[in-house]
Structure 1
Amino acid sequence: MPSTVRLLTPETADPRTPVVVAARRTPIGTAGRALAGLDVVALATPVLRALVDDVGPVAQRPDTVDEVILGNCMGPGGDPARVAALAAGLGLAVPGLTVDRQCGSGLEAVNVGALRVLCGDRLVLAGGVESASTAPTRLALAPDGARVAYDRARFSPDEIGDPGMGEAADDLARERAISRLRQDEYAVRSHALAVANADAGRYRAELVPVGGVDRDERPRAGLDVATLGRFRPAFTPDGTATAGNSCGISDGCAAVALLDEATRRDLGLPGLAIRAVASAGVHPRLPGLGPVPAVQSVLSAAGLGWADVGAVELTEAFAAQVLACTDAWGLDPLGADGDRVCAQGGAIALGHPWGASGALLMVRLFSRMVREQGPRFGVAACAVGGGQGVALLVERVG
């Protein structure tokens, strides 16, 4: 059964309600390329500073931020959230917490931040950061006692099944009869939307340039299904997940500022009130289905259905995973629901900086719903290695 916290229903106005009032991110760089010289602190610090500037005087005095919470998967340890808070000049008294729920870490950080505000904090900065380029090189102990190059963390015990995420995406595509063609069509859509939105300047207000980089590196113009059809299976010999319809390994940071509703109202800031958060477990062999019960849980907690939700953001780790979830919800991102699901492009085009990707969904929702005065209700959700899902439901206010 999903673990769900209903913060407040849409009909309830309460001064404690956590509200996202600012959302910022770095450009997303392909690992080893544009942002390769920046570690997690160098990526996170300017984003935190930008959020403080966005919130205004209430946040600009030292020690007025109650907490900094950042998701991170592969970084150096040592609590990067605290180091980045200090580097950003937020004050010696501002604590930092680094959380790891793998690909859902950035969204989990926002969920934890929302609960902190509900419990009495006034201002929390929450999000995620990843630098695949500067992640430490690690060694693991082999069965014979030798030290070998570390591959990845274990997601599940062997007796249950511990597939890599690419292998699991291929299994999911077979399980749910998701064709290679649909996956490639979805990938073409992701790139086309990302390029169009960048060219139209829709990312400009959310971006914090770093290292001389002011534009996402990965999106490609002019991709078509014929081009992607030439890509070979990337993970299993007869699989349908390829480098073309899967995300890229990336560097970047994204974060949001959370205020309580009373302070938001006093400042006159528009935002996204967080109405419910949830986490759920599914079988580790099909982790891509994790968002399905998590999202259903937040909708049920708020008394809403899909007819109420105008914006849906999913981490596009693999096209097969996104399509499996939308199929389960009865949504068609390649057709009638194209203006709802990842309508400004997602991780297949932009990239997937693991610990930051969940927070990137919140930046997308903020841009679509607040900056552009879009739908009233929105959902963000991530699938997580090991068979988990994380979800969050927001309502536009102000």
Structure 2
Amino acid sequence: MSPHEPVVVAARRTPIGTRGRRLAHLRVEQLAAPVIGAAIADAAKATGRRVDVADVLLGNCMGPGGNPARLSALAAGLGIGVPGGTVDRQCGSGLAAVLDAATAIRSGDDRARIAGGGESASTAPTRAVDGVAYDRAPFTPAGWPDPDMVGAAQDLADADGIDRTRQDAHAARSHRRARTARDAGRFDAELVPLGGLASDDTIGVAEPVLRRLPPLIPGGSLTAATATRISDGAAAVVIVPRRLTGGAPGLAIRAGAVVGCDPALPGIGAALAVLDALASAGVGVDDVAAFEIVEAFAAQSLAVLDRLGIDEADPRVCGDGGALALGHPWGASGAVSMVRLFSRLVRAGAAAGTLGVAAASIGGGMGVAAVVEVIR
């Protein structure tokens, strides 16, 4: 292994709050700064050395601009000499930021990077052109398919024949797993309580309730429970070169991939990115012990698993529940996936050499994935 191999040695996140609820009064940097501080403290304790931060890279999709990563670095007290950069790959932004930080370390820079994401949907500004407000910027130029995410997920469900029964069961399984994990305390070590919120506020929808919900699109199969809630939250990891881990356990970032796909069916992007990243790492789906794939919609998640040849009930996939139960703070969700892998593998005591995968599909027709390996 290279001494410059990037290794995640600390990983933290906020509880995820539904837009307009307990975290609604906090801006992006107010969400991210406490998480950055907690992750740095964890890294210093684990490695036995001061963490010399070279840069802070955070994903963000819908914030106010002004480079939220730099705001977060200053708010976290890192000092005026620590820069920040904001990454926008929509729902894959947080994981893309992790891969960008890993690339900088792999190139030979021995200083640590903070990477992750933050999203405050509650404080996102209204955007307008010529005085006319719009919900989102286009994902594609004129003349290309540019479906909204609900429509894209419904189109994918129709194209793949993923019916409502299967979607409801997938969402119920995500909530069931998340409830079990929460009650067992498996989220505790990764969480930074904030704004009076100590745990994710969306966990707990039961399957009988799911079955009674009306479709989001008349005649469709998606419902409010098989689509993730719009959320507020942040996540951050500390990445250092392997030679500076001080023997601390962590996740070595073996490979990563960012790919494009048909913008008419953006939900499949994660599957293509996973296959690309696995090929780069020289391993296969069956070699992976834990997957964290952002569950933007039940239909989208199922379509990805079908393409990867993974059974939808496989306990390797979002074993403690996914975004359908925890929530989906867009720019942070990919980083949340990396935090979850850290807890499921490093904190849970998985053996050295154990592999994990984090991935997300991205609006506009893209996907991002990372392959990580436990070191001890």
Q: Could you tell me the TM-score, scaled by structure 2's length?
A: 0.96
Whole-Å separation in 2 of the counterparts to 1:209 and 1:199? 16
CA shift in 2, pair 1:262/1:182, >3 Å: same
Does residue 108 (structure 1) correspond to residue 96 (structure 2)? The answer is yes
Q: Distance in 1 between matches of 2:12 and 2:108?
A: 24
Q: Are residue 181 (structure 1) and residue 165 (structure 2) matched?
A: yes
- 2:349 maps to 1:373: yes
**Partner AA of 1:342 in structure 2:** C
In angstroms, what is the RMSD of aligned CA positions? 1.4
Instruction: Identify which of 46, 70, 79 aligns with 1:82.
Output: 70
Q: For each residue in 1:263-306, what CA deviation from the matched residue of structure 2 results, as whole angstroms up to 9, or x when unmatched?
A: 01xx2210000010101111001000101211111111111111
Q: Deviations over 1:47-75 (max 9, x none)?
A: 010011001177985x8201100000111
Q: From 226, 234, 245, give the equivalent of 1:245.
A: 226
Residue 127 of structure 1 contacts residue 359 of structure 1 at CA under 8 Å; is this kept in 2? yes
Name the residue aligned to 1:4.
none
Q: Alpha-carbon deviations, 1:73-108, whole Å to 9, x = none?
A: 111111111111111111211110001000000000
Specify the alignment match of 1:362 in structure 2: 338
User: In the TM superposition, what is the alpha-carbon distance from 1:139 to its structure 2 partner?
Assistant: 1.9
Structure 2 CA distance for aligned equivalents of residues 393 and 44 of structure 1:
24
Shift of 1:195: 1.1
More displaced stretch, 153-162 vs 188-197: 153-162
Alpha-carbon distance in structure 2 between the residues aligned to 1:16 and 1:317: 34
The residue aligned with 1:340 is 316
Q: Which residue of 2 aligns with 1:9?
A: none
- Percent identity, aligned pairs only? 55
Q: Which amino acid aligns with 1:137?
A: T
2:260 aligned residue (260, 281, 286)? 281
Classify 1:355/1:344 alpha carbon distance in 2 versus 1 (closer, same or farther; 3 Å): same
- Provide, for residues 348-371 of structure 1, a one-character-per-residue CA deviation record: whole Å limited to 9, x for no partner: 111000000000000110001100
Per the alignment, do residues 21 and 93 of structure 1 end up closer, same or farther by CA in structure 2, a change over 3 Å counting? same
Cα distance in 2 for residues equivalent to 1:54 and 1:211: 21
Number of positions where the alignment pairs a residue of Structure 1 with one of Structure 2 = 372
Task: Give the alignment partner of residue 299 of structure 1, picking from 274, 278, 287.
Answer: 278
Correspondence for 1:382 among 342, 357, 360? 360
Tell me the secondary structure at the aligned position of residue 155 of structure 2.
helix
Does residue 205 of structure 1 match 2:193? no
Paired with 1:343 and 1:394, the residues of 2 have a C-alpha distance of 17
Pairing 1:232–2:214 present: yes
User: Aligned partners of 1:307, 1:201: CA distance in 2, in Å?
Assistant: 28
Whole-angstrom CA distance in 2 between matches of 1:295 and 1:137:
34
Residue 149 (structure 2) aligned to one of 150, 165, 169:
165
Correspondence for 1:317: 296
Instruction: Give, in angstroms, the shift of residue 194 of structure 1.
Output: 0.9
Distance 1:374 1:177 in 2: 37
Question: What is the SS of the residue equivalent to 1:157?
Answer: coil
What is the letter of the counterpart of residue 332 of structure 1?
Answer: D
Secondary structure, counterpart of 2:312 in structure 1: coil
Contact 1:52 1:60 in 2 (8 A): no
Matched, 1:330 2:302: no
**2-side partners of 1:68 and 1:206: how far apart?**
19
Query: What SS does the corresponding residue of 2:104 show, helix, strand or coil?
Result: helix
For 1:60 and 1:99, locate their aligned partners in 2 and report how far apart those are by CA, in whole Å.
28
Does the 8 Å CA contact 1:333/1:340 hold for their aligned counterparts?
no
Deviation per residue, 1:228-279 (Å, 9 max, x gap): 1221221x32221110111000000011000100001xx2210000010101
Q: Which runs of 5+ in 2 are unaligned?
A: none
Given that 1:311 and 1:379 are in contact with CA atoms closer than 8 Å, whether structure 2 keeps it comes out as: yes
Give the number of the structure whose residues are more often helix, by fraction. 2
- Code of the residue aligned with 2:194 in structure 1: it is V
TM-score by length of 1: 0.91
SS of 1:104's partner is helix
AA at the equivalent of 1:151? D
Is the partner of 2:91 in helix, strand or coil? coil
Secondary structure of 1:239 counterpart: coil
